[in-house]
Structure 1
Amino acid sequence: MDDNTTTPVTVLGLGLMGRALAGAFLKAGHPTTVWNRTAGKADRLVAEGARSAPTVGDAVEPGRLAVICVTDYRAVREALGAADVKLDGTTLINLTSGDSGQARETARWAEARGARYLDGAIMAIPSTIGTPDAVILQSGTRSDFDAHASALGALGTVTYLGADHGLASLYDVSGLAMMWSVLNAWLQGTALLRTAGVDAAAYAPFAQQIAAGVATWLPGYAEQIDRGSFPAEVSSLETDVRAMAHLIEESEAAGVGTELPRLIKAMADRAIAAGHGKEQYPVLIEEFGKPGAR
């Protein structure tokens, strides 16, 4: 592992997140070169000590660590595919948002040009970059990660996921699934309670308590999924589906939308029809794992 906190770093892409990344490297003492299509976005970083490169080829030097945060994977390959860009011996750390297929394809593309490649995801907002609250996910060859883990630590809490370059993207979207599901469930409950004059602020602490409690179930439920065995230790799916029906009925009576609870109940109904009614809720993994209708 490289423990030299003065490792030279290049940051390609100076949107809000890219500027935050470059700023964190500068603050940690890394000589930092930056590049952006619109050069003016580098002015503040240059005032803080960064070097602004006129081209990507000038910014990406052999043996240097280059962190990429641009609009999409197409922009990554357009920037790095320029004639003057030499990737031999360069380590590319791509923090651009995309999907796992794009990550794997870009890894092959970069490695064919002599670069080492790590793909990543940023689970944070720009203002938290450089603090432990910023979670930076990384996937790719372990030795490449170990070589630069110290430098990456300037950005936040860095987590290595495995050799598959697509894992960071998969974790990213899986985290988004959790985020949106929790928020949507809270909004459904908030909409219901507002019909009785309860405001969102009053409901939020109770909702937090419920969400935290449900989160404690996940390790045990994960064991059931990994074993493929779903004994009803808490309640059966048949019991749960009756509660789902109550939620739908209550929502209808209150004049609140039922699209979300009906979707979940439909999945549970299919699982029960397939003979899983006596099993516990995680058995729905079988429904979630099926291809959706197109």
Structure 2
Amino acid sequence: MRTRFLSKLTNGEVEQYLERNDIIFVPVGVTETHGALPLDAETVLAEAVALTMAEAVDGLVLHNLPYFFAGGTTVGRGTVQMSIADGKAYLQKIANSLLKQGFRRQVYVTSHGPAYLTVSSMVRDFFDETKVPLLYMDMLKTAEAVNIDLLSSFHDLVIGAYDKLGRLEDVPLNIPESSSVTYNVQHMLDGMAKNPANKLGKYAYQSGAVGSYFDAPSDHMTTPKLTTAEQRAEYAARGVMAINDLVKALDMPAIVENLREADQYTNQTSVQRYSHC
């Protein structure tokens, strides 16, 4: 296809696609402080992964969804905050429109930890309303399912995502916010430790146990110092490979076929058996 991004296709091209397939990937993003990376880093990562998934199964991608619940990163004035309720309502309207358009198999992709608060509730409510199962793929949980550690190569992945989308030069060089410290989960947790709420966060999924803020914008994602275009390209090459390896390990054709089977089972068996649902 000329492109797999829905908004870059003509209406005629979409109509032609829907004659043979009904799959669309919806990367749901966030705009938040991210060290020396652009504010849309986790939006771009979700979009690049969604594009790679779409390429594997002849799907389309609905992108440009960067403004959703950010959470504790609102301490950074670059962060755009959206309530969970407003984000969920907006996303559900998009899902309903896509279903009416003919996209019965919809896969929602995120790389932002607290995104499940918005997407999971939408997916469940949408199912009860329409009896159509949508699939939500949180990148960390998805990687766990195929025994891949994404956090250890997070910056490779993000910079590779910019490259995959033709935006590598959007990743800046020699930024004061960058650091020589290697990012790891413990570093982020140490940065949050001054807030007493951190002691309560272990009782549910992240951001779902108690409201809290990062102590400082710099606590969210220490970013390696990129000094040359060559160094940036090295990160990008590793990241593109990691994205491709992840999607290959997932076996996307089997996943979207399973989603179709789940839809059939729901409507031919479950709904028939329990008509009051």
Normalising by the smaller structure, the TM-score range is under 0.3
- Tell me: higher relative CO, structure 1 or 2? Use CA pairs within 8 A at least 6 residues apart: 2
Q: Which has the larger radius of gyration?
A: 1
User: Relative to total residues, which structure has the larger strand share, 1 or 2?
Assistant: 1
TM-score, with length taken from structure 2 = 0.28
TM-score, with length taken from structure 1 = 0.27
